[in-house]
């Protein structure tokens, strides 16, 4: 996971992170305080990732991170949801 953009506009933080080892190539995230406002995945399984994004909106960063952490995809040791959790974990540790 590599954060390639991290900017603020007013009280909203906008991040773009490049994923590793999964089908999606990047995750865009809008947060305000400790709440996820929006998330979008680029690439990957469109319907599944739109569902994850819809479920994440309006929730606390820590809650979503705990739910998605450690999910794998097939033989991979990570997944798109796990990559999202890693991004959220990085935010929680900063």
Are 38 and 53 a contacting pair, CB within 8 Å?
A: yes
Domain boundaries, the chain: 2-92
Concatenating the DSSP letter of every residue in 17-68 gives EE-SSSSEEEEEEEEETTEEEEEEEEES-HHHHHHHHHHHTTSBHHHHHHHH
58 vs 36: CA distance, rounded Å: 5
pTM of the model: 0.95
- pLDDT at position 38 is 98
Ranges in the chain, pLDDT < 50: none
Q: What is the per-residue pLDDT for 94?
A: 76
Assigned CATH for 2-92: 3.30.390
For residue 1, what is the enclosing H or E element? none
Q: Using CA atoms in the order 39, 28, 50, 70, what is the torsion angle rounded to 10 degrees? A: -90
As given in the structure block, the two tokens for residue 89 are 């974990």
């Amino acid at each position: 996971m590599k954060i390639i953009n991290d900017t603020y506009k007013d009280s909203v933080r906008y991040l773009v992170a490049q994923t590793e080892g999964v089908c999606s190539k990047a995750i865009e995230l809008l947060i305000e305080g400790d709440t996820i406002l929006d998330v979008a995945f680029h690439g990957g399984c469109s319907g599944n990732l739109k569902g994850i994004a819809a479920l994440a909106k309006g929730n606390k960063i820590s809650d979503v991170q705990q739910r998605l952490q450690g999910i794998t995809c097939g033989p991979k040791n990570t997944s798109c949801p796990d990559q999202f959790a890693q991004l959220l974990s990085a935010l929680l540790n900063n």
